[in-house]
Structure 1
Amino acid sequence: MKNFFKRLLTNPTPTSEQGEPTAGSSPALSIPATKAKREEITRFIINGLKPYIDEKGHTIAGLRLYMLCNNKELEETLKVALCDDTPGMFQKDHLERKLVNNFIQLAGGWFFEHHLVTDKLPDYCITHGTMGLEVIRRGQDLFQQYSTARLQALVGKTEFPEYELNPQQQLKFNIGRSKNPKLSTGRIHTNDIVFWAQDDPQFDAQSGAANLHVSRNHAYILYNPQLDKFFLFPDKGGLPDNGNKTRIYTTDDKVKSLNVPGVSHELQNGDQIELGGAAILVFLKS
């Protein structure tokens, strides 16, 4: 009996000979995956910023976090951990206080961005495992180097005939049907380049026929300030798995399809972006 209780205390979860929990047993308690991932990310950022601790002459203007992600479960965990549905929440409620407590100097209006990548982390990052951190210090005059670009609708009815892509205002530009569509997950999505939906009062059946082939979250354009380049990515709704397509027709008569999440196309002046095989935008670099 004494040996039985000793074994029970050292191994409270009954297991089979293969080490798996037996039928009817409960799994051991653990920290929820999302909370653990959020703490892991925060630790990585603080460790990456150790050179800035108690350095009053080096103020941080912004942070960009890059994370390798190759499966849907991890993608959802990362998005929830980083409060993706509530912009600014991770920065203000989870990260800023801990940075201040570690005597890391932050500029007023400092920014935080996170990006999921599928191939590799940027070479200019502080890296550890699957995470990379880019530090923007106050005084780095990046904004004056930013190029601007434009998108014009060639086929389809958009909110505006032309859109300016200005990195001084934002770095990511969502493309899709309707201004604030509700996705199948229940989340409200916001588009910057808007193709009117059939139930929008501005929709016109004749000029907007191509709009019906555009997904609510079809694609997005992301600006990279280090490279001074714009990249087009397929969003979830613009992938073949969802019955949709995203193609680029280049000025040298090549056709490129974006069929893999996280795989992008570097946009060049004159590239035509085809959405759903019908709507077309043209990219114009200033």
Structure 2
Amino acid sequence: MKSLINKLKKSFGLTDDSTVVEQSASAPEEAPASFIPATPVKRDAIIRFIIQTLKPYVDEKSMSVAGLRFYILCTSQEQEEAAGIALYTDKPGMFKTEQLERKLLNHFIQLEQDWFFEYHIVKDQLPENCIQQDSFGLKVIRAGDHIVEKYSTACIQVLVGQAEQFEYILNPHTQLRFNIGRSKTPQLSSGKIQLNDIVFLAAGEPGFDESVGRANLHVSRNHAYITYDPKTDKYFLYPDKGGLPDNGNKIKVHTADDKIKWLNMYGIAHPLQEGDQIELGGEAVLRFKRN
């Protein structure tokens, strides 16, 4: 009888509601769209920001631009990857010569013959002494104000403790701040995700060896950070909040001239010198070297 009723429904173009629901439920779900914009969109946004910032220089023949320092704030590996592709980081000079220069000249912005463009991917915050908009920052170097800055690299070697790498290159062409802590992306007590650049393995992480990494247990998730100052060509070591005595941690520097310096106050830095050894939590030890 039920079969006969279904055949009659079908002949009159009627369907059972349960069939529709079943078909709807079995339909594949659409994959969520990525929140990272496509690379050309990101690249165009960077160029628009730079041109907008340089509006005061339009058709100003008496004032030319000697250089631009562009900063982009990235809080995830995905954002860093997108920024690197947009800026052609694997093809040095291509963004400047094939994307930016022509557009600046089309907007009648005067450029010095040997003008330069630098980009910096920053992970914590944009520099204070630059024009900012959302995650972008720009510092304009005018003709006559150009100071030659070396942007020389350095490295950190791991002497005691187990890190992801034995040696970390500090390259100020890509970033100006380098976080030091336990685990790559630990969550702090505040809920913030810390993005570490010099990474001590946490217990339980793949590859952790207790006999080698015992010192890691004395390293905070946000123990310290190193910044680079291009004007002085110096690297500075700062205690991060997790590396202060208030949190049961400490930082001691054995300087190259056989002195000992404690970093116990937030915001107070030590200018690093060739051969300085950085002791974290009384156990883990790093060595600073200039390249």
Q: TM-score range by the shorter chain?
A: 0.5 to 0.7
Q: What amino acid is aligned across from residue 236 of structure 1 in structure 2?
A: K
How far apart, CA to CA, are the structure 2 residues paired with 1:184 and 1:250?
32
SS of 2:216's equivalent in the other structure is helix
1:236-255 alignment runs, 5 A limit: 236-255=241-260
Task: Confirm or deny: 8 A CA contact 2:161 2:216 kept in the other structure.
Answer: yes
Q: What is the CA-CA distance between 1:283 and the residue it aligns to?
A: 0.5
Deviations 1:15-44 (A, max 9, x none): xxxxxxxxxxxxxxxxxxxxxxxxxxxxxx
Q: What is the CA-CA distance between 1:135 and the residue it aligns to?
A: 4.0
Task: Confirm or deny: 8 A CA contact 2:180 2:199 kept in the other structure.
Answer: yes
Quote the residue 1:165 is aligned against: 170
CA separation of 1:50 and 1:135: change in aligned 2, threshold 3 A:
same
How far apart, CA to CA, are the structure 2 residues paired with 1:270 and 1:285?
8
Q: Unmatched 5+ residue regions in structure 1?
A: 1-47, 65-81, 89-99, 127-132
Q: What is the CA-CA distance between 1:112 and the residue it aligns to?
A: 8.6
- Could you tell me the TM-score, scaled by structure 1's length? 0.57
Quote the residue 2:287 is aligned against: 282
Runs of 4+ in 1 over 2 A off after TM superposition: 48-60, 82-88, 103-116, 133-143
Task: Confirm or deny: 8 A CA contact 2:238 2:266 kept in the other structure.
Answer: yes
CA separation of 1:160 and 1:111: change in aligned 2, threshold 3 A:
closer
Quote the residue 1:261 is aligned against: 266
Aligned Cα root-mean-square deviation (Å): 3.8
The equivalent position to 2:217 in structure 1, one of 212, 219, 224, is: 212
Q: What amino acid is aligned across from residue 214 of structure 1 in structure 2?
A: V
Identity within the alignment, %? 53
CA separation of 1:135 and 1:162: change in aligned 2, threshold 3 A:
same
Structure (1 or 2) with the larger CA radius of gyration: 2
The equivalent position to 1:193 in structure 2, one of 163, 182, 198, is: 198
SS of 1:206's equivalent in the other structure is helix
How far apart, CA to CA, are the structure 2 residues paired with 1:267 and 1:257?
13
Quote the residue 1:224 is aligned against: 229
Q: What is the CA-CA distance between 1:62 and the residue it aligns to?
A: 2.4
Task: Confirm or deny: 8 A CA contact 2:70 2:117 kept in the other structure.
Answer: no
1:175-186 alignment runs, 5 A limit: 175-186=180-191
SS of 1:151's equivalent in the other structure is strand
The equivalent position to 1:58 in structure 2, one of 57, 60, 65, is: 65
How far apart, CA to CA, are the structure 2 residues paired with 1:184 and 1:154?
29
Does 1:154 pair with 2:162? no
Q: What is the CA-CA distance between 1:273 and the residue it aligns to?
A: 0.2
SS of 1:208's equivalent in the other structure is helix
Q: What is the CA-CA distance between 1:186 and the residue it aligns to?
A: 1.2
Q: Unmatched 5+ residue regions in structure 2?
A: 1-52, 81-103, 132-137
CA separation of 1:187 and 1:227: change in aligned 2, threshold 3 A:
same
Q: What is the CA-CA distance between 1:55 and the residue it aligns to?
A: 3.7
Q: What is the CA-CA distance between 1:241 and the residue it aligns to?
A: 1.2
Deviations 1:234-258 (A, max 9, x none): 1111111111101101122211111
Task: Confirm or deny: 8 A CA contact 1:63 1:136 kept in the other structure.
Answer: no
SS of 1:252's equivalent in the other structure is coil
1:109-120 alignment runs, 5 A limit: 114-115=126-127
